[in-house]
Chain A
Amino acid sequence: DQQVKQNSPSLSVQEGRISILNCDYTNSMFDYFLWYKKYPAEGPTFLISISSIKDKNEDGRFTVFLNKSAKHLSLHIVPSQPGDSAVYFCAASLLGNTNAGKSTFGDGTTLTVKP
């Protein structure tokens, strides 16, 4: 059973518009959520995170929203730029000491921003 799901394998948006990437999770014990960005032939890079005690976290053009009751989070990119074209991974984690910092990743969404 996949605990973190990104149901849209791909998303295409026009430059300047908003990109919304979605992620659903099934384990209500997850208490920390992260987004990573990956370019071809490179390792993923951390983008933004949110604790389960918050419902929104913003960093420049990137905002993550968390809806715990729906077990849903989303990443908003405004305005979208061609350099944002990449694969975006959603991840969920348990912050307890026994978890060794492990995260469970979704399958990724490929974002294409058209000039």
Chain B
Amino acid sequence: DAGITQSPRHKVTETGTPVTLRCHQTENHRYMYWYRQDPGHGLRLIHYSYGVKDTDKGEVSDGYSVSRSKTEDFLLTLESATSSQTSVYFCAISVRDRGYEQYFGPGTRLTVT
């Protein structure tokens, strides 16, 4: 258990509204990731972070931004939610001395109506 929590766990929002999802870890790991999971698409990387204030884009970053002002928190923001962003969002951390195997949070189910 890598001590990863996500909040909220479920959210329903309307198209055009901003949404922020929070990932919190308790073990001060350097690397953190945000994924989305959709049927038939597996896990797709949205953004990742390699340290405080150090972030970069993943393969599906359009419409998303992230921030990491503290080691333990990694925030994902949808500036103006669209129905195509309805998905399950997972946060993860990786541990370098374990071959970068990743440990995932429980997920946030987001519905954009």
Give 7 A-B contacts (CB < 8 Å), ordered by A residue. Answer: A9-B40, A43-B90, A43-B107, A44-B90, A44-B104, A101-B94, A107-B41
Q: In the bound complex, do residue B106 and residue A43 qualify as a contact, i.e. CB atoms below 8 Å apart? A: yes
Q: In the bound complex, do residue A102 and residue B33 qualify as a contact, i.e. CB atoms below 8 Å apart? A: yes
Chain B interface secondary structure, helix, strand, loop or mixed?
strand
Q: How many residues of B contact A (CB 8 A)?
A: 27
Q: In the bound complex, do residue A51 and residue B33 qualify as a contact, i.e. CB atoms below 8 Å apart? A: no
In Å, the complex CA distance between A41 and B90 comes to 11
Does chain A have a CB within 8 A of B48? yes
| A43-B105 contact, Cβ under 8 Å, with A32-B99, A103-B100, A106-B42 | yes
Q: In the bound complex, do residue A101 and residue B40 qualify as a contact, i.e. CB atoms below 8 Å apart? A: no
Interface residues on A, range: 20 to 34
A9, A44, A45, A104 pick with most chain B CB within 10 angstroms: A44
Residues of A in contact with B (beta carbons under 8 Å apart): 6, 9, 32, 34, 36, 41-46, 49, 51, 89, 91, 93, 95, 100-108
Residues of A within 8 A of B35 (CB): 105
Residues of A within 8 A of B101 (CB): 34, 46, 49
What 0/1 readout, one digit per residue, does chain B (79-113) give for beta carbons within 8 Å of chain A? Answer: 00000000000101010100111111111000000
Residues of B within 8 A of A107 (CB): 40-42
